[in-house]
Structure 1
């Protein structure tokens, strides 16, 4: 009676030698993702590993976007003690936090979303495109602003052309508001996007402001087309 064949031995594979992972910190991974879509999983992991998001949490900022305004103001110096500021699309409040941190005492903001209080800022939950919104903001501010900030972004519907038109429409609405309410010498900062049809907006800003610049803050993600128009030296409505 022949014996059964002996199964082949499994070769043990040793880990490669000569290298070390010392000093490397592998990116964090979320352990549970059963109820998340791949895109939301990727977004959450990016947030966890984002140094600006981590710095925002450490500093007590409500969002990493605070560093975008910090970098812009470090360059153009429009957030001054005593300035009156309007913050359009302020949720969750990072830009208002920076303005208050830099000595601004009179600031009003508006967003469709509810925002936790940031005293002494006056926060209005409302659609900025509602014609009644602008007058309410100026009344609450107690006079014309020195600075109008806009980090607004529209709710997207997934149709590229429609979403693009909404983005440009918000930029135009914010720019028109700034031109109507700013004090002479004032500043306007708005989110925009590379490749957007914003030539008409830029032309309007150049007509009314002494200087108009495109700025891509370091804290704005490199894979994002986001940038900011910074218009300073408001010349008036003429």
Structure 2
């Protein structure tokens, strides 16, 4: 606590009426990546004590829902749910609040620290993976995602998991993060369709030829463009790039 009282962002949070210094981390993330925009529906996972909720409401001005296993003191204009994000019952409660889906899911949650670094790192990854799965169930197509995680040997694998589900993924340490902290934020933009993944292989039938001359196939009504393909041809392809509404595949023998 003495260190916190000398901390610039701790004092600034007190001055501005934010519930935690972490409010400035979200502000800095948003300044860099434009994650939360006016009118967005935002879900904050692991939201207590509410610093990120306050900032999310300022930035969005629309529906903001906070979720935590701990109670969250009331914030004007913000709805809260007491529940565990790993449970389907909690996800269903969130869906009832947001109805058409979320534009943004954010998570600044961290496990209670045990003092064993490898254990705490593993628990942080597990929590971040739960947030990712929750985000995939809640986000609209093209939705955005921010999650905190502790750096360590499991971090690269987690980053790749996020890349499986978003068009653009970056890791970022806001200036408000303490220098001695190992936390880092993963930002995912433009949620990908769940069924189509980069480097995955499929057998498709070319249904038509597009204006650019590429063959057009469909996987569950999702459009795949394939070069040098003929209408009616059935072939094996590998997905090389995925966009929110279509993908590009390449022929494989």
Q: One fold, TM greater than 0.5? A: yes
2 CA distance for matches of 1:129 and 1:106? 22
The aligned residue for residue 56 of structure 2 is 99
- Correspondence for 1:187 among 135, 144, 153: 144
The answer to whether the 8 A contact 1:175-1:201 is kept is: no
The aligned residue for residue 111 of structure 1 is 68
- Correspondence for 1:81 among 32, 38, 41: 38
Larger Rg belongs to: 1
Give the aligned length. Answer: 195
Equivalent position SS for 1:221: coil
Which consecutive unaligned segments of at least 5 residues does structure 2 have? 196-253
The answer to whether the 8 A contact 2:121-2:151 is kept is: no
Question: As a proportion of its length, which structure holds more strand?
Answer: 2
- Correspondence for 1:229 among 179, 183, 186: 186
Stretch of structure 1 that moved more, 46-55 or 115-124: 115-124
Equivalent position SS for 1:186: strand
The aligned residue for residue 8 of structure 1 is none
- Correspondence for 2:168 among 211, 219, 223: 211
Q: CA deviation at 1:54?
A: 0.5
RMSD: 1.4
Q: Does 1:48 align with 2:5?
A: yes
Q: 1:210-236 CA distances to partner (integer Å, 9 max, x unpaired)?
A: 111110000000000011001112122
Q: CA deviation at 1:196?
A: 4.3
The answer to whether the 8 A contact 1:179-1:236 is kept is: no
Q: Does 1:68 align with 2:25?
A: yes
The answer to whether the 8 A contact 2:145-2:188 is kept is: yes
2 CA distance for matches of 1:60 and 1:83? 23
TM-score, normalised via structure 1 length: 0.78
TM-score, normalised via structure 2 length: 0.73
Q: Does 1:135 align with 2:97?
A: no
Q: Does 1:90 align with 2:31?
A: no
